[in-house]
Amino acid sequence: MKKHLLLSHPCLLDHGISTHPENAGRLQAILTALTLSPYKSCLDLSMTRLATFDELAQVHTPNYVNYVLSLEGMQASLDYETHLTTESVKAARCAAGLGLELVEQILDNKIQNGFALVRPPGHHSRPDTAMGFCVFNNIALAAKKAISKGIKRILIFDWDVHHGNGTQEAFYEDDRVLFIDFHQDNLFPAGSGLISQKGKGKGLGFTVNVPFPDSCRDDDYLYAFENLVKPLATKYQPELILVSAGFDAHESDPLGSMGLTTKGYGMLTAEVKTLADTLCNGKVVFFLEGGYNPEFLAKNVLECISVLAADTDPLVKSREEIQPYTKGIEDLINGIYETHAG
């Protein structure tokens, strides 16, 4: 079994324009860095898996899927900041399809973990509309694929600086997905990602939002993982973990106001990997979301990949070392945990 697989494709570079924040330079920086790294052998750029209509319709409404597919080869705007160029529809189908491929390979025991290095990103895309640079919801589609293959419990952990509203909406009434979202409070989308948004019906309690104040740092995130994500996930016992890995909470990012470092992303990845090793035989897939400083985006992604690809157990801080840096974080996390622990 090949343990680690990184999937991307050249067609993903053909979407969008260079002046947009979500441009091809982001992914190109990652691919260039990978070709110069020890992880080059894990990268496959040849997979041409395109998500089908039926696969896309597992999350999105048929009308929306038909509308997007009808725009293939055209230039169009799906909303005020989500624009299509002539190759964008193919790229969006490929971005979704590569995530589906990784989930299928993991569930078929061909690989242990993977990283979908894709664009356009996905976690803002709602069932019936595009939003926030996102066309199709790549991670939600992957979760639906896993469910169709018999998986009953999935943890989706979203650490992008913006709230994953589309993913939340896709599973808001579904207890087969525990959705935990770390994001900067009052950023984007407006009014989304509130602590009070906890799910509905069968899904009540299975949506967990952590709206951090701005300027939070590595230890704030690690503290929240240790004291919220880990106990809730341990209770839930997921069979698969999926991560919306946005890197726009980095201290250099122009679209966020957080203070995470490259080392912090590595430690956070180590925590996720350890959790996956403990709960679901290491089955975890990362999906590229945001991150708008290409230089540091590439460094942050490589840091995460180095942890995923390591044969030894990842080095994580001891519990005693992980203390919140920002005032009020302990009370925030304790309050959220108490709300969801029952």
- Say if pTM beats, i.e. exceeds, 0.95: yes
* Amino acid letter for position 153: R
- Which pLDDT band, with edges at 50, 70 and 90, does 306 fall under? very high
For the residues 191-207, what does the mean pLDDT come to? 97
Nearest to 23 by CA among 255, 300, 252: 255
Give the model's pLDDT for residue 122.
Answer: 98
- Domain ranges in the chain are 4-340
Share of residues in the chain with pLDDT > 70 (%): 97
Residues 119, 27 contacting (CB under 8 angstroms): yes
Q: What is the pLDDT of residues 179-189, one digit of tens each?
A: 999 999 999 99
Q: Kindly report the backbone phi and psi dihedral angles of residue 186, in degrees, each rounded to the nearest multiple of 5, phi listed first.
A: 55, 40
Share of residues in the chain with pLDDT > 90 (%): 93
Tokens at 196, concatenated: 């009070």
Q: What is the pLDDT of residues 240-281, one digit of tens each?
A: 999 999 999 999 999 999 999 999 999 999 999 999 999 999
Is a pLDDT exceeding 90 seen at residue 133?
A: yes
Give the model's pLDDT for residue 310.
Answer: 87
**Distance from C-alpha of 131 to C-alpha of 151, rounded to nearest angstrom:** 28
For the residues 143-170, what does the mean pLDDT come to? 98
Angle, helices 262-279/294-308, rounded to nearest 10 degrees: 30
Residues 165, 192 contacting (CB under 8 angstroms): yes
- Which pLDDT band, with edges at 50, 70 and 90, does 323 fall under? confident
**Distance from C-alpha of 161 to C-alpha of 146, rounded to nearest angstrom:** 26
Give the CA angle between residues 274, 275, 277 to the nearest 5°. 65
Q: What is the pLDDT of residues 38-75, one digit of tens each?
A: 999 999 999 989 999 999 999 999 999 999 999 999 99
Radius of gyration (C-alpha) of the chain in whole angstroms = 18
- Which pLDDT band, with edges at 50, 70 and 90, does 300 fall under? very high
Angle, helices 294-308/24-35, rounded to nearest 10 degrees: 50
Is a pLDDT exceeding 60 seen at residue 84?
A: yes
Name the helix (H) or strand (E) containing 25: helix 24-35
For the residues 87-112, what does the mean pLDDT come to? 97
Q: Active site residue: 15, 60, 123, 124, which one?
A: 124
Give the model's pLDDT for residue 26.
Answer: 98
Is a pLDDT exceeding 80 seen at residue 138?
A: yes
Give the model's pLDDT for residue 198.
Answer: 98
For the residues 216-235, what does the mean pLDDT come to? 97
Residues 232, 189 contacting (CB under 8 angstroms): no
Distance, C-alpha 326 to centroid of its chain: 24
Classify residue 226 by its DSSP letter.
Answer: I
- DSSP sequence for 116-175: E--SS--TT-BTTB-BTTBSS-HHHHHHHHHHHTT---EEEEE-SSS--HHHHHHTTT-T
For the residues 19-27, what does the mean pLDDT come to? 98
According to DSSP, the β-strands at 284-288 and 240-245 are parallel
Name the helix (H) or strand (E) containing 209: strand 207-212
Give the model's pLDDT for residue 318.
Answer: 66
**Distance from C-alpha of 197 to C-alpha of 195, rounded to nearest angstrom:** 5
- Which pLDDT band, with edges at 50, 70 and 90, does 319 fall under? low
* Amino acid letter for position 190: A
Give the model's pLDDT for residue 10.
Answer: 98
- Which pLDDT band, with edges at 50, 70 and 90, does 341 fall under? confident
Is 250 a residue of the active site?
no
Residues 244, 285 contacting (CB under 8 angstroms): no
Q: What is the pLDDT of residues 121-130, one digit of tens each?
A: 999 999 999 9
User: 79 pairs with which residues across the strands?
Assistant: 82
- Which pLDDT band, with edges at 50, 70 and 90, does 3 fall under? confident
**Where would I find the H helices in 261-342?**
262-279, 294-308, 329-340
Tokens at 244, concatenated: 């919306």
Give the model's pLDDT for residue 1.
Answer: 55
Residues 331, 220 contacting (CB under 8 angstroms): no
* Amino acid letter for position 143: A
The CATH code belonging to domain 4-340 is: 3.40.800.20
